[in-house]
Amino acid sequence: MIANIVLLVLLFGARKKKINLYSAAATLGAIKAAVYFVFTRNAGLAVFMGFIFAALASGFVFFLKRLDRRAPGEEERVSEYGTPGTEKATFRWEYFPLSVILILLIGGELLISA
């Protein structure tokens, strides 16, 4: 589980290095495939799990990019600052898939083994 968290931190670090986030997600999948191959010596399982982790990481990147975009009617409020608690945060549907993908990326192997 700690290795998964470290890999996610490296995925976020790719943004600061100006690396394409989808290639970073594919690299995460390749690393997980290598780890599975080393521990199981089953190439089919390693490729399958690497593909699953790459797809989950790509989905995570996709939904994070959707959260970064502003809605058409939403404007940036830089000049006026309200008191804390006056601005209401609206629920965005992207939060739900992000939460599910994060849980699966970090603890998905525990769910599979249970």
The model carries a pTM of 0.77
**Residue 110 identity (one-letter amino acid):** L
Instruction: Note down pLDDT in tens along the chain; length 114 residues.
Output: 677 788 778 877 777 777 888 988 899 899 999 999 999 999 999 999 999 999 999 999 999 888 887 666 555 555 466 666 666 667 788 899 999 998 998 888 777 766
Tokens of 4: 């998964």
Asked if 15 and 21 count as a contact pair (C-beta separation under 8 A), the reply is: yes
Helices (H), 1-114: 2-16, 21-40, 43-68, 95-113
d(CA 50, CA 78): 42
